[in-house]
Amino acid sequence: MSSWTFEQPNPIERCTIQLVFSAPLPAPIIRDLASLHIQFKRDLPRKIEQQALTLQFGGILGTEIAPPSQEIAGLIFDFVNPTGESARAFVVGPNSITYFTREYTRWNEFWPFASRLLVTASRGVLSSIPLSILKLEYRDRFDWDGEPDSADVNLLFIDGCRYIAEVFRSHWGLVIISKAG
């Protein structure tokens, strides 16, 4: 009988926690966040500071690119796995702080490091910019081991599950990708 399968220990490919702030993070705050790398270097050894790039429109020649700014516009601390992907990372964007892992096993293994990182990083931001969104996202992957036309998405969910809206279940709109091979 055909079924949905996933790689062990669970189907979670990525777990993400994101703090979105109500305004852009000023360069001094991003610089302060960059200085936190020393505290998290053991788990996230690579540090990438992204410079700001400014485009000026309308001059005599049209669009001009200004020289790179000395300000940090974004920031990444990550651990790169043997395949060259970020296995886990702390990312600072224009108005957000994100931590994700592709190595999720259990919440009680994920949360101690994630909370220490996010609490430490957000402390300086929240003193001047309010939080507007707190996002927790799991991305799961299930592979159908039968004929693509016979895939039954309803098998993935427990009837009456309070975490999945009925409107979602009745209007899938999902793209089913069959397992190669």
pLDDT by residue for the chain (181 residues), tens only, comes to 888 999 888 899 999 999 999 999 999 999 999 999 999 999 999 999 988 766 666 666 656 666 656 788 899 999 999 999 999 999 999 999 999 999 999 999 999 999 999 999 999 899 999 999 999 999 999 898 988 888 887 788 777 777 777 777 666 544 444 344 4
pTM for this one?
0.79
Write down the pLDDT at residue 172: 55
Q: Which of 9, 11, 1 is nearest to 143 (CA)?
A: 11
| CATH topology (fold) of 9-141 | TATA-Binding Protein (3.30.310)
Query: What span, in angstroms and rounded, lies between the C-alpha atoms of 129 and 123?
Result: 10
For the sheet containing 72-80, what is the strand order?
A: 46-51, 72-80, 86-92, 96-101, 12-21, 131-140
DSSP bridge partners of 59:
62
Query: What span, in angstroms and rounded, lies between the C-alpha atoms of 151 and 144?
Result: 6
Domain ranges, ordered by start, for the chain: 9-141, 143-181
Write down the pLDDT at residue 78: 98
Write down the pLDDT at residue 180: 42
Helices (H) and strands (E) in the chain, counts: 4, 10
Query: What span, in angstroms and rounded, lies between the C-alpha atoms of 148 and 175?
Result: 11
Sequence-distant contacts of 154-159: CB under 8 A, at least 24 apart:
155/3, 155/4, 156/4
| Maximum Cα–Cα distance across the chain | 69
